[in-house]
Chain A
Amino acid sequence: MGLQENMRAEQVRTLSLREPVTVSPDEPLNQVVDAMKSHRLGCAIIVDADGKPIGIFTESQLIKLLADESTDFSAPVSSAMESNWPSARDDAPIVEVLNQMTSRNLRFVIVVDAEGNLVGLTGQRGLLEYIADHFPEQVMVQRIGGTPHLNTREGA
């Protein structure tokens, strides 16, 4: 099957979902940023007491806070979070991830189940890995021409 068909037929849950960083709304900003750093993840999901997502804090917001000299990083994350975020059901077709990212202009998509519970995180990265799997030749070319990726030689 072709990529276009696959993206319409396969479900979001078949993407490699990432474990999100979740924080409570009153967590201070500097701790949220530290958590994102240690997980090497560009966003944190703010969840309520039941674990349902209520907002997102991303790297882009960090840039805006850093650009403003008066930012107090001990303020709670809820003061800087965005409450409108892209999300997709885990049983939706993969193309929904693309649609969500385009319509909200954010590269993360929060994956939820039918009850709205947090399942995982995907987005640009998950989609790219999915697409790259369809182009093994290109991936090899980049490995040869770009940075060293293989510690051991493949094949003989």
Chain B
Amino acid sequence: MIEEFQDPLENYDPKEYTDPVERALAEEPVTAIHHKPITTISPETPVRDALKTMAALDISCLMVEQKGRLAGVFSERDALMKIGTEPFGDRPVSEFMTSNPIYVHETSASASALCVMAVSGYRHVPIIDLDGNIQGIVSPQRVTEFLTAKLN
């Protein structure tokens, strides 16, 4: 006699959240956090131009893009740790960027972006679609905005 198949997920109930902040973080996708606009540069850009772009736009992170793909992220932290006060202005940004940044997929929960920040220590988390294209970036400031909106 064939045993009747029992789906192990049959009795699984998704967790229910009563707290509005927790519910938003767990159930809303990461794209619910502002993730645009993004500023992209090519890896060959001289680092001085990258810094000027950041200063002019008052942003703390640039996405380094090569042929539509994410090659790296150049952030304030890279500038502090790898440039400091040295005169490296003419060298390409690819020498100073964080290559292989940790990213999240656009369908992940918004909490995942926060957890990447908390666990990895990287403040800027790129959002990638399933084809590997850059969709946006979540910054601490955008997270703060999101949380403030959910708290009030």
Contacts and interface: CB of A to CB of B under 8 A. Distances in A.
Interface of A: 2-5, 7, 29-30, 33-34, 36-37, 40, 42, 59-60, 62-64, 66-69, 73, 95, 98-99, 101-102, 105, 107, 124-125, 128-129, 131-132, 134-135, 138-139, 141-143, 146-147, 149
Contact of A63 (B54, B119, B141): B54
A143 B119 contact: yes
A135 B25 contact: yes
Given A3-B19, A3-B21, A37-B80, A66 B115 contact: no
Contacts of B84: 30, 33-34, 37
A129 B48 CA distance: 33
Contacts of B89: 66, 69
Interface string B50-70: 011011101010000000000
Contacts, number: 137
Contacts of A5: 19
Nearest to A65: B85
A37 B81 contact: yes
A139 B119 CA distance: 7
Interface residues of B, number: 47
A67 B53 CA distance: 8
A102 B77 contact: no
11 contacts: A3-B19, A30-B85, A37-B81, A59-B76, A60-B76, A67-B55, A125-B117, A125-B121, A132-B118, A142-B116, A147-B102
Contacts of A62: 76, 79-80
B22 interface: yes
Nearest to A43: B80
A139 B60 contact: no
B79 A98 contact: no
A138 B115 contact: yes
A33 B85 contact: yes
Contact of A139 (B25, B55, B118, B123): B118
Contacts of B48: 66-67, 69
A59 B19 CA distance: 35
Nearest to A64: B55
Interface stretch (B3-11, B32-40, B142-150): B142-150
A138 B109 contact: yes
A124 to B, nearest CB: 4
B54 A67 contact: yes
A142 B148 CA distance: 24
Contacts of B79: 59, 62-63, 66
Contact of A102 (B51, B54, B60, B145): B145
A141 B148 CA distance: 25
